[in-house]
């Protein structure tokens, strides 16, 4: 039998119609990393006389083209370039046999694939309206022309050239130049064979010819800091929270129970991963009755001491605690436990790390081109250029990304005031007025309006919350409603009431004997309580850096401090607005919070002598949340003046505050706070005449909370004696430094 013979490609004519070798200009640009369209010169291209094959593989000994049962070795043109002309009538589906150190590897040629971004993607990118930007840019595992690999795409309009480096090319990006997709400023390359878990960065040639290695701004996964590479990610998580999502939008958030436990995940129980937290955090929060958790920033950040507020990876959950799927698992478990998940979101600024966003492609890109507008005066960071449509797109899509990809229920937007004002923390001469001569940052206003409108349109049931410390008009007004200032509303769902926080904490820090001189610090909040939809926050910012923990702000001895704290918490839960409490404060931790070791859980250990004192405060928080959720009067009309009535707001000499909350049907809850250290017997309060008797539903002085167990008659029946402008009144025994709630019996 004759021996089988491998078919050979017909010989290339000695004098081809054209030379397949690259010209010197293209070679120089590819070697320098400044070629804007390598696909036009690399790969396979029909030319007179056949098909020209050109390959750029530095450090390669030999390259052979393989297709069907044919093989043709290319000529070594030096410096990693190989070429050949084959007498073919069309470009075949070919592969490359590449030889390194005497070993041949068969692989695909990245330069035989069509672009992965279509005209619609590029159109939306150009307009700054690509609401699913994470699907268009960044790294994504795809199958193209029957081949699986990873598409890399990055926005770098000022770059002379962009190449991708990673483990697949031994971090030498020379042989993987990306193509520029025209005026979009996007560079793209599909790399066959690269898959999930691969590390990568972009090597960018700046306008001055220098090079910089950058992490992917759109990376969905990163290395664990201090390492800075991006990682190709593929999600395998299967969500189990369909029931939660189906009912999330049933009731508007400002008319629903909303009691928030703020958590710094890395220090809540130090050392726990996302998946380990998923076994403990939902159970703990459910036991205490909070409706939501708020996570301090989870997006990737290089310095743990920033608590996540200086973000470098806006699309990646921090790798310190696990993978993106691990974080999804945590959110999923919280939802399955009936707990909503808010997260802090930081679109105001970003750090200057040379591998991240700062002067990303050699010139100001994400930051403002004007140094006075770019540099944040307080934090040493750079402010985003909200007037650039691609930057707005990056941030608006990021907000949508967290809500849609991670099922986040709300975004608490950090540092809104620093975004809204051009003169924020700047002296005269350090800022330039807007086109109307004002101090408002019109670009930031437009961005916040667009972000809120987009999130509310795309993500039913999601709430946005502004951390805004000024009297900006209309933070929670719809964007299409103009106010007295002439601006449309910013469109947030809720706003942190920083004024209430500062005033009420200032009042509580005074010795009771002096509180009569500061009575207005408690009552003033009701002057503006309905100007916005408010959250009452006792956040991480109030229990660090010398401000002392919540219980340590209170005057008096240990008993009085705890009594003040309990009375304050019950007053806060009854006050119009939603509640937020930072971890550790729910059990009266005495020390300030530290991200290095988290809450002092040992205070609850039964072996500790004062554990019952701390457990008592935690028991009160649990009972506050239980009563709160069961009492629509405390949340149904938070933003409606008809839901609140003062009984007595001017009893400064007594340090007493009393008011009614009413639900949508008019059913009342009576809250009475005695913030003096005296027991007040037979304290008369005017009440509605249509309630036959009042029953005490909560008393912060109960012995099981650590109080003195001072109690009065229960139920309490009104007397026909007019008082406080009302036809009937009741007489109560008010415990010292305590708040009581009463409902119709």
* Per-residue pLDDT reduced to its tens digit, 96-126: 999 998 899 999 999 999 999 999 999 999 9
Share of the chain above pLDDT 70, in %: 98
598 contacts 267 by C-beta, under 8 angstroms: yes
Q: What are the pLDDT digits (tens) for 299-344? A: 999 999 999 999 999 999 999 999 999 999 999 999 999 999 999 9
Q: Please answer whether residues 589 and 549 qualify as being in contact, where contact means their C-beta atoms are separated by less than 8 angstroms.
A: yes
Cα end-to-end span (Å), the chain: 106
Low-confidence winner among 65-69, 263-267, 667-671 (lowest mean pLDDT): 65-69
Alpha-carbon gap, residue 34 to 207, rounded angstroms:
10
The residue annotated as part of the active site, out of 467, 586, 638, 701, is: 467
Query: Dihedral (C-alpha) 713, 716, 719, 723: value to the nearest 10 degrees?
Result: 90
Q: What is the pLDDT of residues 629-662, one digit of tens each?
A: 999 999 999 999 999 999 999 999 999 999 999 9
> Is the pLDDT confidence value at 32 over 50?
yes
Which tokens is 728 given?
A: 């009937």
Contacts for 678 with CB less than 8 Å, ≥ 6 apart: 736
pLDDT at position 1 is 44
- Is 467 annotated in the active site? yes
Q: What is the pLDDT of residue 7?
A: 52
Q: What is the pLDDT averaged over residues 167-194?
A: 96
Residue 8 has pLDDT above 60, yes or no: no
Q: Which of 350, 355, 433, 424 is nearest to 391 (CA)?
A: 350
414, 503, 623, 696: the active-site residue? 414
Give the pLDDT of residue 377. 85
Residues 6+ apart with CB under 8 A from 584: 543, 549, 593, 598, 599, 600
Q: 251-260, 397-406, 484-493: which has the minimum mean pLDDT?
A: 484-493
- The confidence band for 711, taking pLDDT boundaries of 50, 70 and 90, is confident
Q: Does residue 2 carry a pLDDT above 50?
A: no
Say what the pLDDT of residue 594 is: 93
Confidence of residue 539 (pLDDT cuts 50, 70, 90): very high
Determine the average pLDDT of the residues in 133-154: 97
Cα distance between residue 351 and residue 375, in whole Å: 10
Average pLDDT over residues 39-62: 95
Dihedral sign from CA coordinates of 434, 437, 440, 446: negative
* Spatial distance between the Cα atoms of 613 and 604, rounded to a whole number of angstroms: 9
Residue 397: its pLDDT value, please?
98
Q: Is the predicted pLDDT of residue 15 greater than 50, yes or no?
A: no
Q: Which residue has the higher pLDDT, 658 or 5?
A: 658
pLDDT at 22 over 50: yes
Closest CA to 635 of 569, 696, 700, 575: 575
CB atoms near residue 569 (< 10 Å): 23
Q: How far apart are CA 164 and CA 106, in angstroms?
A: 21
pLDDT at 14 over 80: no
pTM above 0.85, yes or no: yes
pLDDT tens readout for residues 563-598: 999 999 999 999 999 999 999 999 999 999 999 999
State the pLDDT at residue 10.
53
> What is the residue-averaged pLDDT of the chain?
95
Using pLDDT thresholds of 50, 70 and 90, give the confidence band for residue 712.
confident
Mean pLDDT of 604-623: 97
Residue 12: per-residue pLDDT = 47
User: For residue 481, is pLDDT > 90?
Assistant: no
Quick check: 28 pLDDT over 70? yes
């Amino acid at each position: 039998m004759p021996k089988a013979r491998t078919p050979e490609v017909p010989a290339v004519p000695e004098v081809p119609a054209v030379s397949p070798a690259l010209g010197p200009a293209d070679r120089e640009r590819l070697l320098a990393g400044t070629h804007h369209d390598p696909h036009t010169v690399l790969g396979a291209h029909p030319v007179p006389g056949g098909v020209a094959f050109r390959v750029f593989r530095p450090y390669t000994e030999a390259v052979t083209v393989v297709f069907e049962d044919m093989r043709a070795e290319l000529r070594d043109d030096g410096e990693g370039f190989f070429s050949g002309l084959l007498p073919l009538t069309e470009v075949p589906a070919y592969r490359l046999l590449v030889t390194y150190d005497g070993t041949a590897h068969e692989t695909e040629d990245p330069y035989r694939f069509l672009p992965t971004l279509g005209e619609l993607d590029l159109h939306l990118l150009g307009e700054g309206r690509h609401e699913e930007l994470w699907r268009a840019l960044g790294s994504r595992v795809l199958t193209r022309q029957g081949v699986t690999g990873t598409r890399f795409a990055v926005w770098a309009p000022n770059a002379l050239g962009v190449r991708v480096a990673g483990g697949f090319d031994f971090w030498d990006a020379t042989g993987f130049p990306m193509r520029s997709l025209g005026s979009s400023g996007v560079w793209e390359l599909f790399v066959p064979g690269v898959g999930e878990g691969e590390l990568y960065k972009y090597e960018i040639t700046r306008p001055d010819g220098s090079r910089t290695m950058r992490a992917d701004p759109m990376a969905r996964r990163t290395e664990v800091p201090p390492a800075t590479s991006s990682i190709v990610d593929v999600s395998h998580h299967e969500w189990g929270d369909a029931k939660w999502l189906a009912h999330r939008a049933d009731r508007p958030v400002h008319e629903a129970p909303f009691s928030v436990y703020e958590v710094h995940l890395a220090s809540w129980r130090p050392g726990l991963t996302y998946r380990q937290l998923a076994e403990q955090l939902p159970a703990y929060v459910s036991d205490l009755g909070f409706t939501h958790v708020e996570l301090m920033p989870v997006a990737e950040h290089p310095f743990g001491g920033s608590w996540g507020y200086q973000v470098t990876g806006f699309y990646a959950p921090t790798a310190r605690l696990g993978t993106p799927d691990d974080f999804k698992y945590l959110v999923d478990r919280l939802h399955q436990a009936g707990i909503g998940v808010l997260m802090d979101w930081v679109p105001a600024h970003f750090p200057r790390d040379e591998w991240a966003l700062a002067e990303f492609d050699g010139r100001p890109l994400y930051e403002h081109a004007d140094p006075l507008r770019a540099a944040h005066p307080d934090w040493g960071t750079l402010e985003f250029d909200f007037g650039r449509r691609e930057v707005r797109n990056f941030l608006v899509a990021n907000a949508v990304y967290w809500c849609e990809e991670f099922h986040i229920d709300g975004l608490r937007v950090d540092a809104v005031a620093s975004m809204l004002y051009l003169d924020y923390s700047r002296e005269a001469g350090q800022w330039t007025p807007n086109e109307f001569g004002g101090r408002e940052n019109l670009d930031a206003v437009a961005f916040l309006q667009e972000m809120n409108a987009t999130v509310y349109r795309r993500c039913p049931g999601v709430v946005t919350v502004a951390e805004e410390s000024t009297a900006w008009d209309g933070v929670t007004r719809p964007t299409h409603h103009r106010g007295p200032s002439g601006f449309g509303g910013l469109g947030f769902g809720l706003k942190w009431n920083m004024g209430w926080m500062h005033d009420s904490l200032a009042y509580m820090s005074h010795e009771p004997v002096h509180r009569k001189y500061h009575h207005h610090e408690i009552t003033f909040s009701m002057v503006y309580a309905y100007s916005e939809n408010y959250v009452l926050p006792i956040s991480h910012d109030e229990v660090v850096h010398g401000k002392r923990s919540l219980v340590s702000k209170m005057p008096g001895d240990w008993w009085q401090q705890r009594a003040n704290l309990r009375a304050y918490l019950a007053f806060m839960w009854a006050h119009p607005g939603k509640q937020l409490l930072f971890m550790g404060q729910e059990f009266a931790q005495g020390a300030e919070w530290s991200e290095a070791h988290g809450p002092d859980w040992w205070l609850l250990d039964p072996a500790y002598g004062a554990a019952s004192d701390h457990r008592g405060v935690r028991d009160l928080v649990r009972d506050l949340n239980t009563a709160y959720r069961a009492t629509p009067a405390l949340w149904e009309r938070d933003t409606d003046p008809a839901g609140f009535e003062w009984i007595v707001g001017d009893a400064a000499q007594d340090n007493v505050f009393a008011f009614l909350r009413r639900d949508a049907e008019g059913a009342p809850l009576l809250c009475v706070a005695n913030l003096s250290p005296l027991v007040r017997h037979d304290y008369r309060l005017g009440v509605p005449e249509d309630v036959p008797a009042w029953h005490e539903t909560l008393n912060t002085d109960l012995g099981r909370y650590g109080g003195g167990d001072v109690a009065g008659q229960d139920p309490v029946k009104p007397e026909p004696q007019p008082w406080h402008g009302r036809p009937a009144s009741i007489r109560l025994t008010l415990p010292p430094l305590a708040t009581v709630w009463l409902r119709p019996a």
